Structures are given as C-alpha cells and as structure tokens.
Amino acid sequence: MSTVRVEFSAEQLAEVRRLQGLYPDPRAALLPVLHMAQDTFGHVSLEAEEYVATLFNLSPAHVHEVVTFYTLYFQQPKGRHVVAVCHNLSCHLAGAPRIIEHLKQRLGVPVGETTDDGRITLQSVECLCACEHAPMMQVDDRYEFDLTPEKVDRILVRLQ
C-alpha cells in the first residue's frame, strides 16, 4: 500500500508563513492553510491534518475538529460537482427531506458520499441563507432555489 507524501512545496510554506504573519495570533491562518492543503492534496486527509497541525504547533485533534466543523473541507476525494442541500428549519419544512431522498435515489449514494463515476458528491448542510426560497441547494458555486424533484432532475442533467 503506497501513501502519498503530504508536504507543501517551499513556495507554499512561504505562503503559510506569510498568512500566519498577517494576524496577531498565527492560528488565525488555519482556515486558508487548510484550503491550500485541500487544493494541493485533493482533500484533507488525516495525514494532511497532522501535517498542518505541525505548521501551527497544534494537536492533530484540534485541526480535525476544524475540518469536521466546516462543510467546505472534504476528508475524502470529492466529486467533480458538489451538490449541497440545505436541511435547516425553513428548508426542512418546505420539503428538503424529500429533495434529499430524491437525490439519494437518483445518484445512488447516501449523503456524504460520491457517485461511483466521481461525478457528484452529495451533502446535506446547514443554512444556505435563502429561507424565502426554500428548499434550496448549492451546486458548486451556484444556488438553486424553490426545488422540486422535477427541477432537481433538470439540474442533474446539466451536470453530465
């Protein structure tokens, strides 16, 4: 079993130090450095968490707590597209559970997983800030509002 070496380039390490220098407490740069790790390694693996922890003199557990708190960090390789359905109160009451179930059936994966072809990662997330257009979801960097199963099907066709 081969493992991918988790290490930033010299240029990336310089950027980490620059980011840390922007704040009175260097730990404030943790989020952008985690984004750098995700962009570099494809996702934030446990090895990447441990590596980033060493750059901040933090415990790997602390970094893991940050990674698992935010939905923008992926612990496994993500799909080419990320479909994130809001499950907060307004969306829930307006039908988000039905939309999530429809997506699970159409994609053939549970929430938090990626389709076998690597095309779509399905997420269920907290508020996406458009309660007046519930239920809603974010597809990559685009927001989709007032969802119905039929509208979801049309959106999925665009992702092919």
User: Could you report the per-residue pLDDT of 80-99, keeping only the tens digit for each?
Assistant: 999 999 999 999 999 999 99
pLDDT at 5 over 90: no
Q: Where does the pLDDT of residue 72 fall: very low under 50, low under 70, confident under 90, or very high at 90 and above?
A: confident
Q: What is the mean pLDDT of residues 51-65?
A: 97
Give the pLDDT of residue 1: 42
Q: 81-158 in CATH: which number?
A: 3.40.30.10
Give the pLDDT of residue 106: 97
Q: Which long-range contacts (CB under 8 A, 24 or more apart) does 79-82 make?
A: 79/114, 79/115, 79/118, 79/119, 79/120, 79/121, 80/118, 80/119, 80/120, 81/119, 81/120, 81/121, 81/139, 81/140, 81/159, 82/120, 82/121, 82/123, 82/138, 82/139, 82/140
Per the model's pLDDT, the better-predicted residue between 155 and 126 turns out to be: 155
Give the pLDDT of residue 4: 60
User: Whole-model pTM?
Assistant: 0.77
Structure tokens of 8? Answer: 């930033």
What are the extents of the domains in the chain?
A: 10-69, 81-158
Determine the topology of domain 10-69 in CATH: Arc Repressor Mutant, subunit A (1.10.10)
Q: Where does the pLDDT of residue 54 fall: very low under 50, low under 70, confident under 90, or very high at 90 and above?
A: very high
